[in-house]
Amino acid sequence: MECQIEALLLADNIYQDVSSKKFVLSGLFHQINTSELPFILSCSFGVFISVSGLIGLSTIKLEIIDITTKMCLASISSIEINSPDASIPVSFGIEVPPFEIYNAGRHIINLEINQHLVHTSPLIIHKT
């Protein structure tokens, strides 16, 4: 599978305007600040993804991994998207439900498409 990740962005809010089909993202971030650990991230956030090179039906899986313990903190799977044309990017948002954070430092967000790891992005947990 040849695909190109055009974007993977974390945001407090993601919605798609009905008339223009444009995505609107607010509260972009790459770091979560907390004064105590462990910490329950009590509100959800979104991950905006844009990918080109897909054709037909594809299954998406997103995982947030604590690289210190190699533990999966959150997993969103079985999301199916359909692309009729590999040359046109497919864009979508995924809601990440609340989860518990145990350690400060670098975490990773893994994006799998059709059971292949296609992209990894950092998520920094900063203890204030």
Tokens 């994006």, residue?
111
**Amino acid letter, 14:** I
Confidence band of 43 (pLDDT split at 50, 70, 90): confident
Domains and CATH numbers, the chain: 4-127 (2.60.40.2550)
Query: Residue 63: exposed, middle, or buried by beta-carbon count in 10 A (0-12, 13-18, 19+)?
Result: middle
Confidence band of 2 (pLDDT split at 50, 70, 90): confident
The Cα 75–Cα 62 span in angstroms is 6
Task: Dump pLDDT digits (tens) for 67-109.
Answer: 999 999 999 988 999 999 999 999 999 999 999 999 999 999 9
Supply the pTM of this predicted model. Answer: 0.93
